[in-house]
Amino acid sequence: MTAITSPHPSAGPPERPERPERPERPVRWVEDGPGARAQPPPLPRVTPSWWRDTSGAALWGLLLIVTALWVHGGGVQEVGSIGGFLTSFGRLTGLIASALLLVQVALMARIPWFEKAWGQDELVRSHRLIGFTSFNLMVAHIVLITLGYAVGTPDGLWATIVDFTVNYPGMVLALAGTAALLMVVVTSLRAARSRLRYESWHLIHLYAYLGAGLALPHQLWAGQEFLASTAATIFWWSAYAGCAAAVLIWRVAVPIKRSRDARLRVVEVRAEAPDVTTVTVRGRRLERLGAQGGQFFNWRFQDGPGWTRANPYSLSAAPTGDTLRITVKDLGDGSARLARLPIGTRVLIEGPYGRMHAGVRHHDKVLLMGAGIGIAPMRAILESLPSVGVDVTILHRVSSRDDSVLGVEIQALAQERGARYVLVTGHRIPDRASWLPQSAGHLGDVDALRQIVPDIVERDVYICGAEPWMAAAEHAVAAAGVPAASIHIEHFEY
């Protein structure tokens, strides 16, 4: 690897003399040149893009069916009085809340067609938005139904609440389910998430399944639209059964079968830095998983108490027929345990997940941008990309050269595959959101990108790192003219 001190910021490696000069302070880039080439593993099949449109249309179709069932059950005819209006629209909000709750479950059931079409980060964002909407509608349902019944009785609001709780079938279970969902919603707020360990948040989030299950008896026993017709009964039972089946199949049965067939065990634990660990696991017939460099699995290492909690870690090397490898920074209890894993520890997996892999690219030119531990999936993607006919630049952002985790491996891979490796060092700029180091603070984010990669608009760009850095990098890449479809990024923020 050659250190190049540019006489001007626009100067690059010797093989790119056509770059225009700019009279600004020099910036130090570290680059690696071309070398030998090797043959990559085959790329995965990508779910057609029309799956996104179809699944989106299915959501709106579901809401239309629910509304039609409400109309068929007399919802419109009952709005003539204040009490009827409140009660009828209370039922509608409850129905839509129930439907969205089922959509939430389906989004996180790891259904492979949805996951491959949207990517986990997009599904998580949609899950969160739909979750808040569903809960707000559920609260509206409770308030409207209670007020509607209270208007029609001389006993008053409090007596109506007591009557609902004591005499209506399934109401106590529904209230318990609502409490469980409230706990999930509160801990999903950004302020609460920032104060919770991932393991604690994940455990609490599982109560969403409990909340959905506890709400079901009330809906089936007392819900007018559930009982209004045979078609309504079949629809709602089918919807609940379909979601339950999806969870049992894709979150339970498939991971158990894959883990059992793979028979994964830890074969190497290596410290890359005091707080960064690489773990290699070996199994059998791993090519059947269809994993690709850059994707992630949910991992359970059976090394003692707490092993049942899964943690998402990206592959840091292209998978082989018998090995998978991750490189993880110590950011919590789960990641801290990896440095102490005994050789031979059994491993359970869910996955592979995510659209951060070579199969989603549109161009024969690629820019891989990784910061900190976010360079791990970039290294795996580099290894998975074809080494013939693809122009690859990998941009590695670190605080100092000593922090360049996997830097030696990436340099060797770049030389082997004819890729260009750029190491950007320095502490972050304190007074501005930027992907650049402080030493390059006089440059604009877009100008710096164009200096390093003048043809960036012709490239697919993959980005991974800490959330603020990814946001700044994504903004700069988009501002440089790269279409949204060519920007590949996944957010692991829970």
pLDDT of 133 strictly over 60: yes
Task: Give the pLDDT mean for 430-443.
Answer: 89
Instruction: Decide if 45 contacts 293 (C-beta within 8 A).
Output: no
pLDDT of 324 strictly over 80: yes
Confidence of residue 227 (pLDDT cuts 50, 70, 90): low
The owner of tokens 């490898």 is 325
Tokens read off for 83: 């009490």
Q: Output the pTM of the full model.
A: 0.77
- C-alpha 440/C-alpha 447 separation (Å) is 11
| Residue 417: CB atoms within 10 Å | 22
Selection from 121, 132, 110, 130 nearest residue 59 by Cα: 130
Mean pLDDT score across all residues of the chain: 81
- Give per-residue pLDDT as tens, 250-272: 989 999 999 999 999 999 999 99
- Give per-residue pLDDT as tens, 405-418: 999 999 999 999 89
Question: What are the backbone angles phi and psi of residue 275, rounded to the nearest 5°?
Answer: -120, 20
38-42, 54-58, 233-237: range with lowest mean pLDDT = 38-42
Q: What is the pLDDT of residue 226?
A: 62
Confidence of residue 183 (pLDDT cuts 50, 70, 90): confident
- Find out whether the peptide bond into 217 is cis, omega within 30 degrees of 0: no
Q: What is the pLDDT of residue 376?
A: 95
- C-alpha 165/C-alpha 431 separation (Å) is 55
pLDDT of 211 strictly over 50: yes
Q: Encode burial over 313-331: b for 16+ CB neighbours within 10 A, e otherwise.
A: bbbbbbbeeebbbbbbbbe
Task: Give the pLDDT mean for 12-16.
Answer: 34
- Give per-residue pLDDT as tens, 67-99: 888 887 777 777 777 888 888 888 889 889 888
Give me the half-sphere count of Cα atoms (radius 13 Å) on the Cβ side of residue 310.
Answer: 17
Give me the half-sphere count of Cα atoms (radius 13 Å) on the Cβ side of residue 31.
Answer: 22
Share of the chain above pLDDT 70, in %: 80
pLDDT of 108 strictly over 70: yes
More confident: 164 or 365: 365
- Give per-residue pLDDT as tens, 339-394: 999 999 999 999 899 888 988 898 999 999 999 999 999 999 999 998 788 999 99
Tokens read off for 214: 């506890």
pLDDT of 47 strictly over 70: no
Torsion of CA 47, 53, 57, 60, to 10 degrees: 110
- Give per-residue pLDDT as tens, 437-451: 988 888 899 999 999
Task: Give the pLDDT mean for 126-155.
Answer: 83
pLDDT of 281 strictly over 50: yes
Residue 348 pairs with which residues in a beta bridge?
A: 300
Q: What is the pLDDT of residue 101?
A: 86
More confident: 152 or 494: 152
pLDDT of 220 strictly over 70: no
Best-predicted range by mean pLDDT among 49-63, 120-134, 210-224, 332-346?
332-346
Share of the chain above pLDDT 90, in %: 37
Residues 105-109: contacts with CB under 8 Å, at least 24 apart: 105/208, 105/209, 105/212, 105/243, 105/246, 105/247, 106/242, 106/243, 106/246, 109/243, 109/246, 109/247, 109/250, 109/251
Confidence of residue 187 (pLDDT cuts 50, 70, 90): confident
- C-alpha 314/C-alpha 333 separation (Å) is 17
Q: What is the pLDDT of residue 13?
A: 34
Confidence of residue 121 (pLDDT cuts 50, 70, 90): confident
- C-alpha 248/C-alpha 296 separation (Å) is 21
The residue type at 99: A
- C-alpha 13/C-alpha 89 separation (Å) is 67
